[in-house]
Amino acid sequence: MTEKELLVYIEKFLFPSQFFPKQLEILPQDSSISFHVLSKLDRNTLKTLYYYLLSEDEKCTECLRHFLSFIKNQNTPSINYLADSSLERIYTKARQVRREIHRMKGLLRFRELCGGYLYAQFKPENNIILPLALYFSNRMRAERILIHDIRRNIAAFCHRDKVYPAKLKDQVPSFTEDEKIFSKLWNEYFAKIAIKERLNIKIQKQKVPLKYRSFVIEFMGENSL
């Protein structure tokens, strides 16, 4: 497989360019990477690399090049990520991405829009819209879902196990009447479920960092905390 073919492969299967304008720029362009090298890797390592690329690390080119030259000389299948600082960086960043994905699976909040869409905004540190969209396209199969990354201004449309890149042109339609009822109901529930005698704001802050709160409806009212 030529380098060009590899890039097509990556673009098609790993990074549809609409979601990852940045990643394609930073992929090393030299001929030292070939599909052959990548195809040798096991699933876990590929996943680590995938997550690492989602972090949009500024040292990405450097670290990847280092990584590829490293695995060329590597005989054992398992990679010691503590071996040097570039590998460690890849591993650490990938872990951060994985954790943010998991966190957003819980914290993303959808609102029902007139016209029958579920719409969620968020502002993730990493470019995680695709893995999240894939997850939600199955979780709520029949729904028409829009996920909008405000930081990068990219959006994904999910429906029946499929994800499509989307562009939001005009203003988002207004919420439905039901939306107002159920979000109010949720806020009510959220306030009531806490046991006052066990108050522990510190753990709450640790689990729901302030940077995420502006898009989580039960925290929207108390951003000052």
Partner 1 sequence: MLIKSSVNIYDKLSILANGAKYDVSCASSGVMRKSSKNQIGRTSKFGICHSWSSDGRCISLLKILLTNFCINDCAYCINRKRNDIRRILLLPEELAKITYEFYRRNYIEGLFLSSGIIDNPEKTMEMMIKTVILLRVKYGFNGYIHLKLIPDASEATVLEAIKWADRVSINLELPSKKSLQYLAPDKKMESILRTMDFVKSTINTLREKRDFYNSKGGQSTQLIIGATPDSDFEILKLASFLYKKNKLKRVYYSAYVPVNDDFRLPSIKKPPLLRENRLYQADWLIRLYGFKVEEICSENKPFLEESIDPKLSWALNNLDFFPLDIYKASMDELLRVPGIGLTSAKRIIKMRKVTNIDLTSLKKMGVVINRAKYFITFKGNSLEGKRLYDKPLEIKRLISQKNSNQYSLPYL
- Footprint of partner 1 (CB under 8 A): 76, 78, 80, 82-83, 88, 102, 105-112, 118, 120, 136, 138-143, 178, 182-186, 188-190, 192-204, 207-208, 216, 218
Smallest distance, partner 1 to C-beta of residue 142, A: 7
Smallest distance, partner 1 to C-beta of residue 81, A: 9
Of 31 and 75, the one with the shorter C-beta distance to partner 1 is 75
Smallest distance, partner 1 to C-beta of residue 216, A: 7
CA–CA distance, 208 with 198 (Å, rounded to integer)? 18
Of 17 and 200, the one with the shorter C-beta distance to partner 1 is 200
Of 2 and 204, the one with the shorter C-beta distance to partner 1 is 204
CB within 8 A of 143, min separation 6: which ones?
118, 158, 159
CA neighbor of 98 nearest in space, from 67, 121, 119, 126 = 126
CA 65 to chain centre: 24
Of 170 and 203, the one with the shorter C-beta distance to partner 1 is 203
Smallest distance, partner 1 to C-beta of residue 202, A: 7
CB count within 10 Å of CB 75 equals 5
